[in-house]
Amino acid sequence: MPIRSQRKQVSYVHLYVFCAFLVLAAFLVDCPVEVLDGFILILVSPSNLITDYIKIGGLGAALLNSGLIGLSSVFLLNLNRVKMNGAAIAGILTVCGFAFFGKTIYNSFPITLGVYFYSLVKKVPFKEVAVTSLFATALGPLISMLSFGMGLEIWIGVLAGCVSGILIGFIITPLANSFFHFHQGFNLYNTGFAAGIIGMFATGILRMFNLQVNTVSIISSGNNFLLSMLLLPLFAAIFLIGLYYSNWSFQNYLKLMRYSGRLRTDFVENCGYGIVLINIAIMGFITWGYIILIGAQINGASIGALFTIMGFSAYGKHPANTIPVIFGAFVASMLNMHDPTDTVSVIAVLFATTLAPIAGRFGIISGIIAGFVHVSMAFNIGYLHGGINLYNNGFSGGFVAAMLVPICLFIAEKLNLKKGLRDN
């Protein structure tokens, strides 16, 4: 059996291969000229929520954008000798996912640079905040909007965007660390909450000077078959590799599903790399199955949600704590005024799994309630940041967790259930 450190080293190779697969797939689905032309269109898009890059530049260009951002992210962590663990896997797959609808190399780099400057001023090794720098790119659309979406002179827009990105990167790490206590680790997209607060202030300042910042709805459709043919073999390959590294055994999978998934629960450290790959693949199949089962479209936004769920399957999510939340969110999407098959509804349901630790800690009923309440917040909170925070559900999830967790703790204490609750 490979020792645990070897498993972590292999995981870097697998992440390089995963991202390279996306780049290769780009040139399999479209011709090189279309891919490169579409890629340029993606780079100069304002990119605020929801801007589906498949609609903007084509499927090939969106795959290329995702693959390149993924490769650069893996290289960044590898270069700085970041320990390959659950948080790193979550960060890389999250940026790959959001590179289908909001993140580009251009709008991500200034934020990463800002986090690097923070590490210099704080006098801490960059490797300690490198993963945070990946999640911090949630505010990438602000850079793109200032550069290309406000009607400013191009040099003024680019300068304003880059300076804003560096400033965001500089302040987001201490804010994310502070806001962790607000939701007590029950909102997995913690950086999304910090990004939402920053985005709310940034949007308020722009609107104060009559610079309008609003959400958009640029969404593709009609790619379900082709994207399924790309995704399903990928899930199957991840599953088989996981089985191989687990010696063809599911022995630790039940152990993994006993964790509540509360933030900073690292499944790689606790359960082993092979079991984590199995969990990633299973969660990928579940997410894909939900989209297909309700008759929704697989597009840039839903792939973003799917990849994010897969990433956090190394860092907090598993079927036992996500399915109750998805069910509660789905019920809310069925009862409200929105079509449950609309992309905005689909991603609200899928990203509601940011609250998976509530189901893991307090049980199925609490998870269902969390999912239901989350949808109501997610539909109404986007106006505050105007779509410049890609992790809108992390923003809303922070408020939901802050409200529900004290109530759940109170009820558990009164019912004498506290001893049976899981902290990890």
**10 and 94 housed in the same domain:** yes
Residue 215 in domain: no
**164 and 236 housed in the same domain:** no
**255 and 143 housed in the same domain:** no
Instruction: List Cα–Cα distances, 276 to 1, 17, 86, 319, 360, in angstroms.
Output: 16, 17, 8, 12, 17
**End-of-domain residue from the set 180, 208, 236:** 208
Residue 405 in domain: yes
More confident residue, 420 or 411: 411
More confident residue, 2 or 202: 202
pLDDT confidence band for 421 (50 / 70 / 90): low
Residue 217 in domain: no
Tokens of 39: 């890629």
DSSP at 338 = S
**187 and 331 housed in the same domain:** no
**End-of-domain residue from the set 208, 243, 271:** 208
**275 and 360 housed in the same domain:** yes
Residue 58 in domain: yes
Residue 216 in domain: no
**395 and 297 housed in the same domain:** yes
Closest residue by Cα to residue 20 from 49, 52, 76, 63: 63
Q: Cα(300)–Cα(305) distance, rounded to whole angstroms?
A: 9
Q: Cα(237)–Cα(21) distance, rounded to whole angstroms?
A: 12
What count of residues does the chain have? 424
Does the pLDDT at position 1 exceed 50?
no
- Number of structural domains in the chain: 2
**192 and 310 housed in the same domain:** no
214 φ/ψ angles, rounded to the nearest 5 degrees: -140, 155
Return the H-helix or E-strand segment holding 60: helix 59-79
The answer to whether 299 touches 219, Cβ cutoff 8 Å, is yes
Q: Is 13 exposed, middle or buried (0-12, 13-18, 19+ CB in 10 A)?
A: exposed
**300 and 399 housed in the same domain:** yes
**200 and 238 housed in the same domain:** no
Q: What is the pLDDT of residues 215-252, one digit of tens each?
A: 899 999 999 999 999 999 999 999 999 999 999 988 88
Residue 213 in domain: no
pLDDT confidence band for 6 (50 / 70 / 90): very low
Q: Which residues contact 46 (CB under 8 A, 6 or more apart)?
A: 141, 144, 145, 148, 149, 216
Mean pLDDT across the stretch 307-330? 98
**47 and 186 housed in the same domain:** yes
Q: What is the pLDDT of residues 178-209, one digit of tens each?
A: 999 999 999 999 999 999 999 999 999 999 99
Residue 141 in domain: yes
Residue 73 in domain: yes
**End-of-domain residue from the set 183, 208, 233:** 208
User: Among 295-299, 366-370, 379-383, where is mean pLDDT lowest?
Assistant: 379-383
Q: What is the pLDDT of residues 36-83, one digit of tens each?
A: 999 999 999 999 999 999 999 999 999 999 999 999 999 999 999 999
**39 and 172 housed in the same domain:** yes
Q: Cα(366)–Cα(207) distance, rounded to whole angstroms?
A: 38
Print the domain residue range for 175: 4-208
Does the pLDDT at position 91 exceed 70?
yes
**157 and 305 housed in the same domain:** no
